[in-house]
Structure 1
């Protein structure tokens, strides 16, 4: 396979990643296997990509973090964090989140605070959730383990034969970046929407689907006759009938057996459906379903549900819960809700059965906005053991006493031995997709190098920025990475940009480290749109955000972030 063909295949891979229908893990695995089959990467190089030391360290770190995320530490901080007005709350929240995200997984930190912020009534959640997500990113770029992206870049660094990145090497630029961007977020807080604070009587609208059953007394009568026009807190939007959508619904429309009615309304107002005999809400009698506990959840990035519909999965069997409503940001999902592919970050309103809390797949699939449902928090002794063990592992690595992987393996054994972490939980939440994605990306990087495709791009970069010198090429690599991370995932952006960065540095015959850092910081610079970063998707529906909301607050943050990175990286990592 020649270099131009390799480049064309990478363009095709990028297009499929942007399209979003196929999982990145599947796409990267297929491309890596294809490059091996065509002889660009031999068998040993292909298989060794999946055992890269930095990649294995990342996997063990994520397994350990599953125990750490159940520490009650963040819950205790939350009461203090949210005192004062919006600006002060944003400052405190961002500072604490960034500090914790420097050593813990970003998704776990946001997940831990998401429910607390959504439930509190002091400050509108919409004023806090985007800053929460941004602060998790900003904290992540300050250390090697703060975000998986830094460890992914370290995997490429080691694979390229360069010295491994150190624990606090990122802090030199990362800390000034975080401080500057937090200050900009506080100053830009008036740009954030101020939706009313959540309460039991004032909750954002959901979209509900109910079916008229066979022999229902509702059938054969009009909407007006059935009293479906004047429901308390609910509005009938449309009717799905034999794969045909009726919208808007007129008062004289006659209902038929099998009609699916789509309502919008508030959570507590759903009980208005109990008065109708012969009406099933997602396959269950309304009166039986609505007698259950209502729990609000957000679909996680580890879930099996994205790109699948409720009709494709046996939802009730898997989770002992019925879906009462679906919400996606502030967007109204139109018709055929049972056939709408679910997305990461969608909010679901569930009517849960008595066994819901005992299903072991809940914590993998959902972030809960209601407390007391999942596994209990760690006790104080357990929390002290887990956190102090983790801090010791970090310290031993930072001072070059013991490798991070060794320390984390010992800590993992202690967590398993003390039953803080279980083998079943490790199997359930093992980051298999991340492992195969990054391992495959390492193979793709080798193919780009061996085929000469990376060199073609590097030569083009040199020609494009020849009049601007090395700094121009450095800026170009950063901007390419930033654009990629806005349209695809951050780890995928780092995987595609790294070979270009390394070849560009070699083309200019300079130290590759500033170009490596351009990729690392650029891959974490996803502030403008919510689709490229999992924590943005997590907060989108609870905050009732539009894409424009992310752009308005994200633009000044992104400009500040980029300016500080481009100014400071050459200072601390000279060419």
Structure 2
């Protein structure tokens, strides 16, 4: 009875994850707490999930990556990648991205190259960004630390009492699959759209100007008193006063004679300004005034803005910036911008204040696409950080020093040398990821201890019994692939792992092929932008539609799956 109830609750969890209204952290955290309160798992099991060594390793690795992603070396090197014709540039870009993503956080790699590709004018960014994201995924599956998914699977392995996965345990399957799929991407990219760079920065009908006439009743009164903050579809973005730009405009700003008010939003709602006597409407050439003040950003997967509106978070105060426009994929969102719920991957066009990049919350919330750059490490700091990281990886690969120990020593060194600061660690600490993975481990324990995982494994045996253990292995892989295309990759691994392990036990087989089926299946997201964070990062900057991911990703997904299904049983026999 308990097994059936837990299984039913997992179905509800999956449905809510697919719906996407609540974050995975909230859902997994609630389910784990519910299992604890109901006695499905013990307090010791719940607490041990959050102190899992593999989870701590992932956490420290992400904190160390904060220093590596601030290095200017990758950005300087990236210019050479895009020289020559489009095919050679794509091949170089994907090869370097895959190689770097095998050892560095693939989000950081894509985030660095995203700005470079968006700014260059040689090749249409839409021809490069999906291949960039796909290559980062393929590079990540080749090593233990290449993607958080592999480390999450390792945390489940350790939690199940099995030997931890080694640094290059994935390589024998991951490297040939990655090389094969990169060649397939070169073929499938022919279906990518070709949005020329000049289209990306073409003047948009975002702006409307109005001048305060002499003697207007608005003069000497604040923005709030004049009721200029919440107009129907229009927002006061800037004030041009004596050739000086006031940005953003606070509610207490006092209007003066001859002020030029720059509005954004739905310019067809111009009638909203006709109610204000003494405002003279003219032109829409504010782009020239604002050109040096505009920056485009993409909402990151760590951002607190996802699911909120601009009004709810008081965007202007938080970032000293006003939102000029919002784009999701290839679609510019219209309506009252302040009331649109934001999503991870949305592109925002911002009119920013002079100290925009000095705000400490920029890195956590945005990937910058414009020429605004956050402070970078010096060459010496970069070399020290990368040399230290390479030493840690090498020592772990040769079993000289455990990976966690090495990363802790490196983190201490980065803090002592002031390459990283405690303030930066606090701002960028991945709380949500810790909650998701720790809670997912608890959910996995609930599936196992209640018998729900064994119940599903029995169903798998009934379904694939006629095809033997290989059929069951393929079934686990396909189940994980479908989950990762529907929910996030880490959530897919969390839900599929206990089923895969129980299926191996039901067939009396070695668990390693099934563990690898879950690990590679959870990273097999190529056809939808919402299942993997790097896909969301490139979705709006590339002006993509869902069909672009499907047309380009389907051949890659088929090649990837064929490679994994063929190689895993050879490298890891049943």
TM surpasses 0.5: yes
Q: 1:68-467 to 2 correspondence within 5 Å?
A: 68-198=68-198, 203=201, 208=206, 258-261=231-234, 280-281=263-264, 290=290, 293-375=293-375, 377-467=376-466
| Structure 1 residue 122 displacement after superposition | 1.2
| Structure 1 residue 427 displacement after superposition | 0.3
Q: State the alpha-carbon separation in 1 of the partners of residues 261 and 203 from structure 2.
A: 24
- Bigger Cα displacement from structure 2, 50-59 vs 303-312: 303-312
Q: 1:465-544 to 2 correspondence within 5 Å?
A: 465-544=464-543
Q: State the alpha-carbon separation in 1 of the partners of residues 232 and 431 from structure 2.
A: 41
Partner of 2:223: none
| Structure 1 residue 358 displacement after superposition | 1.1
| Structure 1 residue 87 displacement after superposition | 1.4
Q: State the alpha-carbon separation in 2 of the partners of residues 19 and 47 from structure 1.
A: 29
Partner of 1:553: 552
Contact 1:478 1:518 in 2 (8 A): yes
- Offset from partner CA, 1:108-144 (integer Å, 9 cap, x none): 0000000100111111111100000000000000000
Partner of 2:252: none
User: What secondary structure is seen at the aligned counterpart in 1 of 2:348?
Assistant: strand
| Structure 1 residue 383 displacement after superposition | 0.7
Q: 1:314 to 1:459 in 2, by over 3 A?
A: same
Partner of 1:16: 16
| Structure 1 residue 217 displacement after superposition | 13
Partner of 1:2: 2
Contact 2:212 2:260 in 1 (8 A): no
| Structure 1 residue 290 displacement after superposition | 3.5
Q: 1:60 to 1:104 in 2, by over 3 A?
A: same
| Structure 1 residue 374 displacement after superposition | 1.3
- Offset from partner CA, 1:266-309 (integer Å, 9 cap, x none): xxxxxxxxx99666337999979948611111110011111001
| Structure 1 residue 215 displacement after superposition | 11
Q: 1:296 to 1:158 in 2, by over 3 A?
A: same
| Structure 1 residue 441 displacement after superposition | 0.4
User: What secondary structure is seen at the aligned counterpart in 1 of 2:323?
Assistant: strand
Q: 1:217 to 1:363 in 2, by over 3 A?
A: farther
Q: State the alpha-carbon separation in 2 of the partners of residues 216 and 402 from structure 1.
A: 75
User: What secondary structure is seen at the aligned counterpart in 1 of 2:435?
Assistant: helix
User: What secondary structure is seen at the aligned counterpart in 2 of 1:477?
Assistant: helix
Q: State the alpha-carbon separation in 1 of the partners of residues 374 and 562 from structure 2.
A: 42
Q: 1:71 to 1:556 in 2, by over 3 A?
A: same
Q: State the alpha-carbon separation in 2 of the partners of residues 445 and 333 from structure 1.
A: 40
- Offset from partner CA, 1:548-567 (integer Å, 9 cap, x none): 00000100000000000000
Contact 1:215 1:278 in 2 (8 A): no
Q: State the alpha-carbon separation in 2 of the partners of residues 96 and 278 from structure 1.
A: 47
Q: 1:564-575 to 2 correspondence within 5 Å?
A: 564-575=563-574
User: What secondary structure is seen at the aligned counterpart in 1 of 2:197?
Assistant: coil
Contact 1:191 1:552 in 2 (8 A): yes
| Structure 1 residue 386 displacement after superposition | 0.2
- Length-normalised TM-score, structure 1: 0.87
| Structure 1 residue 439 displacement after superposition | 0.4
Contact 1:306 1:341 in 2 (8 A): yes
User: What secondary structure is seen at the aligned counterpart in 1 of 2:184?
Assistant: helix
User: What secondary structure is seen at the aligned counterpart in 2 of 1:530?
Assistant: coil
